[in-house]
Structure 1
């Protein structure tokens, strides 16, 4: 068993990711290429045994002041057995030394009650990051997933009555959901996203980021843009990622116009149908708060996703592998200051 960088074998690396039960678009080299357009580097690290991959980690690299770096594996690492995971961790540490990294962050899509992972974390002295119950982590710890094994008829039947009504109402009123075929459609989505960000008070990435997403993900069948119209007026948009048997709802936006037509409900239903047509078995609505009290400002997001029949799922969360004692302390202090400033701006 040995580690290897697979820069010249990205297809092999991505195949392992796409067939792994916890595989995610964020662990493919296509995601690394996308992130390279916004200041990150990437390295596809793997562990081989008898000619077959047994573990992988897409490691994103961010340059920091004083010639130091941050390493991050979104929704990774992935592994087939604990020995391969241990080999991968040691290889990652060696790589981190060469990159002068302060920390290697990771947040695998592993269920909260996975004893193997938690035992490994304790043995290898990884530090669990307390990201709270809302969205303070890099990736959501709490997600809503919909099992797609049922027929479309039964999926619709299992939804909350209000959700089912809203879907049918939007269709009766003439809302039309289209799969975007041209990169120019990104501008329609981005206008909706800007409108949504202004209404709901959050910051968004520049248009160039979504243009890179189109180039690296949409054009490689890893993502799809959907737009909902009423009489050629764009009312809602959404971007879904797809890999293996899973589709993820990643970005959504809606207009201030004609909100009574329930376009966001119909666009979700059409994406669910699209996921089924592609042979997928899971539709992941992504993040919600872990605090399900009705008083929580994010409770409405949970109710919206629950209405489609989705179930709450909790992952193990976010972990740090400190690689420099003093440097890691400085990193934590700087991160805490950044979060305080960000929260004041909200």
Structure 2
């Protein structure tokens, strides 16, 4: 077995296949997702454990850099096929060594681990804590997103779509059936103009809901590549040829994850949000995937909406670890961040301006 650091196109394809088909995979590890940070001047690389020319484990790292600051951030993982502690230890130890070699002042990784045994083939449940002995627990660099868990709809226990529907709360069943009667047309978008229109609706929802979302220019290449490579779906609902709602899903680990969405707020309510999530669930079921991750988080209303789909929340616990490699530079970064953050609404804009 050997460990390599690479951006070779053949290995990128193998890695993406590994992430898509490995139950512990996450969309955060797909190369198209890792590359999305290039708009902020960041780079990325893959660290792979190779045996008999096949990938048996690995991680994807975002190399965040601006001015003289550099950070080595693993948003999810490392992951492997068999929970092999020996391979995981080699990869985890390699993180700090690699970060020091590329002259990063700080490194961090997010190891997906939970005490919930229900769907533990999609994360780690029991791992030797000595694997992390050279790291501290914490998340001091917050500008690369890392997952906090799954909001899981188990689909393996059903044999028909109707069985899934019956298992939802009565209010959800009613709203889905009502939405289906409202004659909304569902489309799986592939054209850039259609996807942009759908994303603009999501941006409008984000603005009205007072939460942040990447602007189209910085995210469009990622979305289009994922859709074109059949790693993602942008699903939209229309009535009378007018868009009423849209959701964006990305596949990995034998499931789709809900990434973002938005609906028109109108009266009478077309219940488009219910309809689109039902389409996402049906898509996952018909592709014979393990489940659907409707995602954690959101406002209280959004959380309640999601929970009505018979979800099981799986929270990752004590999963973020770090090492400060150059204490002086990192302390300066923390000072810089504290002073600059209040001056700008979106830190991504700062990073974009300061990028090399």
Name the SS for the 1:320 alignment partner. strand
2:90 corresponds to 1:84:
no
- 1:112/1:334 CA distance change after superposition, 3 Å: farther
TM-score (norm 2): 0.84
Equivalent residue, structure 2, for 1:186: 195
> Residues 148 and 90 (structure 1 numbering): CA distance in 2 closer, same or farther, change over 3 Å?
same
Specify every segment of 5 or more residues in structure 1 that has no aligned partner in the other structure, as ranges.
290-297
C-alpha separation in 2, matches of 1:185 and 1:195: 16
Contact 2:63 2:70 in 1 (8 A): yes
Aligned counterparts of 2:61 and 2:70: Cα–Cα separation in 1: 12
Distance change >3 Å, CA 124–CA 21, structure 1 → 2: farther
Q: Is the 8 A contact 1:142 1:313 kept in 2?
A: yes
Structure-2 change in CA distance of 1:184 and 1:142 (3 Å) = same
Question: Could you tell me whether the CA contact under 8 Å between 1:142 and 1:288 is conserved in 2?
Answer: no
Cα distance in 1 for partners of 2:28, 2:249 equals: 13
User: Aligned in 2, Cα 1:191/1:11: closer, same or farther, shift over 3 Å?
Assistant: closer
| 2:139 paired residue among 129, 134, 148 | 129
Match of 2:186?
177
Please say if residues 237 and 244 of structure 2, whose CA atoms lie closer than 8 Å, have aligned partners that are also in contact. Answer: yes
- Which stretch shows the higher mean deviation, 30-39 or 82-91? 30-39
Residue aligning to 2:264: 255
Structure 2 unaligned residues grouped into runs of 5+: 117-124, 348-356
- Give the TM-score normalised by the residue count of structure 1: 0.86
C-alpha deviation, 1:37, in angstroms: 4.0
- Partners of 2:265 and 2:274 in 1: how far apart? 15
Pairing partner for 2:50 from 45, 48, 51: 48
Match of residue 145 from structure 1: 152
Q: Distance in 1 between matches of 2:268 and 2:35?
A: 36
Deviation at 1:303, TM superposition (A): 0.8
1:186 deviation in Å?
1.6
Structure 2 CA distance for aligned equivalents of residues 344 and 24 of structure 1: 25
User: In the alignment, is the contact (CA less than 8 A) between 2:41 and 2:66 conserved in 1?
Assistant: no
CA shift in 2, pair 1:167/1:339, >3 Å: farther
> Residue 165 of structure 2 corresponds to which residue in structure 1?
156
Distance verdict in 2 for CA 1:22–1:340, change over 3 Å? farther
Q: Which residue of 2 aligns with 1:100?
A: 103
**1:243 aligned residue:** 252
Q: Is the 1:32–1:60 contact (alpha carbons within 8 Å) kept by the matching residues of 2?
A: yes
> Match for residue 351 of structure 2?
none
Q: Pairwise CA RMSD of aligned residues?
A: 2.7
Query: What is the aligned partner in structure 1 of residue 12 from structure 2?
Result: 10
1:311 to 2:312 alignment: yes
Counterpart in 2 of 1:59? 61
Do the aligned residues in 2 keep the contact of 1:183 with 1:214 (CA within 8 Å)? no
Secondary structure of 2:206's aligned partner? helix
Task: Between 220-229 and 209-218, report the one with greater CA deviation.
Answer: 209-218
Which of 159, 179, 195 in structure 1 is aligned with 2:204?
195
In structure 2, distance between residues paired with 1:21 and 1:337 = 41
- 8 A Cα contact 2:36 2:219, kept in partner: no
The one of 213, 226, 229 equivalent to 2:222 is: 213
TM-aligned CA deviation for residue 337 of structure 1: 5.2
SS of aligned partner of 1:286: coil
Give aligned pairs, total. 332
Q: What is the CA–CA distance in structure 1 between the aligned matches of 2:145 and 2:346, rounded to whole Å?
A: 19
Q: 1:32 aligns with which of 22, 31, 34?
A: 34
Distance in structure 2 (CA, Å) of the matches to 1:186 and 1:170:
22
Moved more, 98-107 or 241-250: 98-107
Aligned partner of 2:23 in structure 1 is 21
Q: Alpha-carbon deviation of 1:85? A: 1.9
User: Counterpart of 2:72 in 1: which secondary structure?
Assistant: strand
Partner of residue 327, structure 2: 325
